[in-house]
C-alpha cells in the first residue's frame, strides 16, 4: 500500500463481484492516452503484476481506464489503497470491472479471437515501444554531441535545501508522473527531468522544510516492483 496518503476504502459496489481488473474513472480528460497509461502503470505496479492497461482515445471513453492485474488480491489492494488518490488534480474513483478483460480471458483460455484482433494490437504496441526507444537513444546521442554533461553533481551530505535530487527512476518516467507524486506535499513548485541521463530528476519546493517533508514521505517509494526512489538534497 502507498505510504503517502491515508487508505480510503471504496464505496459500496452493489453486485459487482471481485475481479482482477479495476475500473478507474473521474480521470483528467485532457491527459493524453499514452501518458495516462504510463502514469497508471507507475502508480499501480507497486500492488502486483499488471498484465494490461486499457484506455481509449474516443470522446465517450475519456476520463476512464481499466487496469488488469494478474490476480484479484492485487486488484483489491490497489483499489483500497488508491481510492480517492489525487491523480492529475482529480480524485480517482475505483471499482471492480463489470466484465472480464481480454488479458484475463487469454490467461484463462476463454478469449474469443474472433471478437478482437490482438495480433494487430500487439504488433502496433511493439512498433510504438521500438520507435520510442530509438527516439530516446537518438536524443541521448544528440545531447552527448552537444556537450550536455552525462554526470550530475550530487553530494549525500548536502545540507537541507529546497531542491531534492531523485534517482532510481524507470527510464519511462515523465515529469507529469513525478509531479503527481510530489504535488501532494505543500510547497511543491516543479519537476526538472535530466534528459541526457534517464533515471534521475530534480524536484523544487518553496522552502527547505517543505522539501524535507517530501523527502521523508517518499524516500524508498516503489514506482514499480523493480525501482525504488532514492531522494537526497541536491548539491549546490
Of 51-65, 125-139, 173-187, minimum mean pLDDT range: 125-139
Q: Is the pLDDT of residue 43 over 50?
A: yes
Report pLDDT digits (tens) over 65-91.
Answer: 999 999 999 999 999 989 998 888 888
Residue 165's pLDDT band (boundaries 50, 70, 90)?
very high
Residue 186's pLDDT band (boundaries 50, 70, 90)?
very high
Q: Is the pLDDT of residue 136 over 80?
A: no
Residue 21's pLDDT band (boundaries 50, 70, 90)?
very high
Report pLDDT digits (tens) over 83-112.
Answer: 998 888 888 999 998 876 555 555 555 444
Averaged pLDDT of the chain: 77
| Mean pLDDT, residues 172-188 taken together | 90
Q: Is the pLDDT of residue 1 over 70?
A: no
What cell does 83 get? 481510492
What cell does 207 get? 522552502
User: What pLDDT was estimated at residue 134?
Assistant: 58
User: What pLDDT was estimated at residue 135?
Assistant: 56
User: What pLDDT was estimated at residue 7?
Assistant: 37
User: What pLDDT was estimated at residue 106?
Assistant: 54
User: What pLDDT was estimated at residue 68?
Assistant: 93
Count of C-beta atoms within a 10 Å radius of residue 81: 21
Amino acid at each position: 500500500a502507498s505510504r503517502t496518503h491515508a487508505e480510503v476504502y471504496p464505496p459500496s459496489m452493489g453486485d459487482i463481484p471481485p475481479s482482477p481488473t479495476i475500473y478507474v474513472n473521474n480521470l483528467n480528460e485532457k491527459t493524453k492516452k499514452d501518458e495516462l497509461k504510463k502514469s497508471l502503470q507507475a502508480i499501480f505496479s507497486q500492488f502486483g503484476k499488471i498484465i494490461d492497461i486499457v484506455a481509449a482515445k474516443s470522446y465517450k471513453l475519456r476520463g476512464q481506464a481499466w487496469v488488469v492485474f494478474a490476480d484479484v488480491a492485487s486488484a483489491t489492494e490497489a483499489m483500497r489503497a488508491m481510492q480517492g488518490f489525487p491523480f492529475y488534480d482529480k480524485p480517482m474513483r475505483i471499482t471492480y470491472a463489470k466484465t472480464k478483460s481480454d488479458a484475463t480471458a487469454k490467461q484463462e483460455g476463454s478469449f474469443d479471437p474472433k471478437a478482437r484482433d490482438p495480433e494487430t494490437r500487439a504488433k502496433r504496441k511493439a512498433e510504438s515501444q521500438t520507435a520510442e526507444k530509438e527516439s530516446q537513444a537518438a536524443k541521448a546521442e544528440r545531447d552527448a554531441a552537444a556537450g550536455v554533461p552525462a554526470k550530475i553533481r550530487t553530494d549525500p551530505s548536502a545540507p537541507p535545501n529546497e531542491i531534492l535530487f531523485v534517482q532510481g527512476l524507470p527510464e519511462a518516467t515523465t515529469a507529469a508522473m513525478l509531479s503527481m507524486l510530489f504535488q501532494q506535499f505543500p510547497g511543491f513548485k516543479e519537476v526538472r527531468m535530466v534528459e541526457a541521463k534517464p533515471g534521475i530528476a530534480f524536484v523544487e519546493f518553496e522552502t527547505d522544510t517543505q522539501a524535507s517533508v517530501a523527502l521523508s514521505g517518499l524516500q524508498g517509494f516503489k514506482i514499480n516492483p523493480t525501482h525504488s526512489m532514492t531522494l537526497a538534497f541536491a548539491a549546490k
